[in-house]
Amino acid sequence: MKLSLFGCWALLFLLSLGVWSVGLAHAQDKSQGTIIVQALGDSGIQTDTKAQIYAEGSQVPAATVKLGAPANLPPGSYRLELEVLGGKVSRNNVLVRAGRTSTVIISEVAGLRVNILDKKGNDLGLTVEVYDSVSGQKLGDFLSGETIFAYPGMVDVKVGVPPQSQWWRKVELRGGGVAALELKERVQGELRVHPLLAGRDVSTDTQVIIYQAGTQKEVARSEPGHEHRFALDAGAYDIFVGNATGQGKPFATEQAEVKGEETVEKDVPLDTDSKPATPTKTQTL
């Protein structure tokens, strides 16, 4: 495509106008100053919390800015507000000078982060409620996975996790620090114990007790019945089988390991001349 002589002059004029406009904008930037708001260091920068900046005497924000991000403003005196749980933190007479950066450090706040994770480690985004530990007054709420700002002190934290609520009592919020709470979805597997006598299952005449491996801490027990089935957290366990049939061994012990959500089948021979139990069999749920 060919341009006429007039078209070329018009194009050059527009280009020069654009360059002049950019230069003017740059000059205007130099005539402004910058405010940067900091709280809780890097932890504050990673939050979605924003500070509002007002010109003195104004009720309309001149700027709303994330922590750690610069806000360019005309020279003058400003008021700054940062929302925290149950209130606000303010700074008055924040000075802005042309070509200068004013850094506002807010140190009298604490951070609180609550993570409620599913089996894959993803946050569920559940409602978190925060109460004053002394008065019991509700201070506010937020979603799990977020870091919020609060006044230092003692708080009670509640999360509605089915089938009942989870509470953390007297959580200390320290100025300049972040209190981190975490709750993971419980992962359980299943252990099925089969007491055998002469190759026959004798669950109806046996009692089974499960202990944490290497301890006397009882985890679960099953009285004589149709079967011995246990829902257990992942880990190693000792199995005690009491035999009330009057035949074979009066009792026997074995070990089993539960991994993840799998089902573990454990045979426990009670014959007097029985060989060691067969290796544990697992099934993935």
Q: Does a structural domain hold residue 65?
A: yes
Dihedral sign of CA atoms 246, 247, 251, 256 in order: negative
Same domain? For 192 and 279 the reply is yes
Give me 113's structure tokens: 């982060």
Of 104-113, 156-165, 194-203, the poorest mean pLDDT is in 156-165
Sorting pLDDT into bands at 50, 70 and 90, what band is 232? very high
Rounded to the nearest integer, the mean pLDDT of the chain is: 85
Where does a domain end: 151, 184, 217?
184
Looking at residue 211, which CATH number applies to its domain? 2.60.40.1120
Q: Does a structural domain hold residue 221?
A: yes
Dihedral sign of CA atoms 14, 19, 24, 26 in order: positive
pLDDT higher than 60, residue 281: no
Q: Does a structural domain hold residue 18?
A: no
Where does a domain end: 79, 105, 131?
105
Q: Kindly report the pTM of this predicted structure.
A: 0.59
pLDDT higher than 60, residue 282: no
DSSP H or E stretch at residue 6: helix 5-30
Question: Tell me: the pLDDT tens digits for 36-61?
Answer: 999 888 777 778 888 999 998 899 99
Domain that holds residue 274: 188-283
Sorting pLDDT into bands at 50, 70 and 90, what band is 269? very high
Mean pLDDT of 245-259: 93
In the 3-class helix/strand/coil scheme, how is 33-86 assigned residue by residue? EEEEEECCHHHHHCCCCEEEEEECCCCCEEEEEECCCCEEECCEEEEEEEEEEC
Question: Tell me: the pLDDT tens digits for 158-176?
Answer: 998 777 789 999 999 998 8
Q: Does a structural domain hold residue 260?
A: yes
Distance (Å, rounded) from C-alpha 187 to C-alpha 204?
29
How much is the pLDDT for 276? Answer: 53
Same domain? For 47 and 89 the reply is yes
Where does a domain end: 85, 105, 125?
105
pLDDT higher than 50, residue 2: no
Q: Does a structural domain hold residue 21?
A: no
Same domain? For 150 and 202 the reply is no
Which segments of 76-152 are extended strands (E)? 76-84, 87-96, 101-105, 110-117, 127-132, 138-143, 147-150
